[in-house]
Structures are given as structure tokens and as C-alpha cells.
Amino acid sequence: MDKYNGRGDPSDHINIYKMKLQGQSPVVKCQNFYTTLVSDVKMWYNKLKPGSIQSWTQLKREFVNAFIGNLTMIADIVQLNDIRQNEKPSRGTSSSSVTLSTKSRL
């Protein structure tokens, strides 16, 4: 299993980790999670206040929330087709704007 360095989807890292530790207790998952981290991610973990994590579910949530912003969203052609440029400026604006339809996954 690759160690997580802050790049990529943190949810993917969690899912791979869960598969590797399938059948282990949530306590064991929490205790061993640190070993799957490197560099700045390990520093993030070390900065967690002692006693602040009460469960494996909470650790997963905190981890994903901390690193989800590092994802680079790649729009596929369908999403790009959903982008439309407004011809008329919205009230209160002086230039046209680009909008993304609500059915887009971005």
C-alpha cells in the first residue's frame, strides 16, 4: 500500500486502508493509520490534540476534510458541454459570466 503524501483522493486512501485491515477493530485501524502517512500529512496527524479523536469514523472524517481540498478536479467532456456563457450580464454585474449547470458533477 502506498503511503499518503497529501496528493490524490484521501477517500481512496481510506478505502484501500480499510481493505488492507479488513476484519480489524476500529481501534486497531486508528492505531495503525499513522503508519500510512508521510511528510506534511504525518505532521497534520501529529498536530491532532490528544484525545480529540474518539472513533475510527471521526478520524476518517477529519482526514478526508483536511485533504479533500488537495484534489484536482478534472472535467470530462460531458461536464465541459454543460458550461454555458451567459449572453446578458446578470443584474449588478457589468460582464458576462460562465455558469455550470446543476447536473454537472463539478
Backbone angles phi, psi at 15, to 5 degrees: -65, -40
How large is the average pLDDT for residues 71-91?
Answer: 62
Q: Is the distance from CB of 6 to CB of 67 less than 8 angstroms?
A: yes
How large is the average pLDDT for residues 43-62?
Answer: 96
**Alpha carbon 37 to chain centroid distance?**
15
Does residue 101 surpass a pLDDT of 70? no
Does residue 35 surpass a pLDDT of 60? yes
Residue pLDDT, tens place only, 3-14:
999 988 999 999
Question: Which one, of 85, 69, 95, lies nearest residue 7 by Cα?
Answer: 69
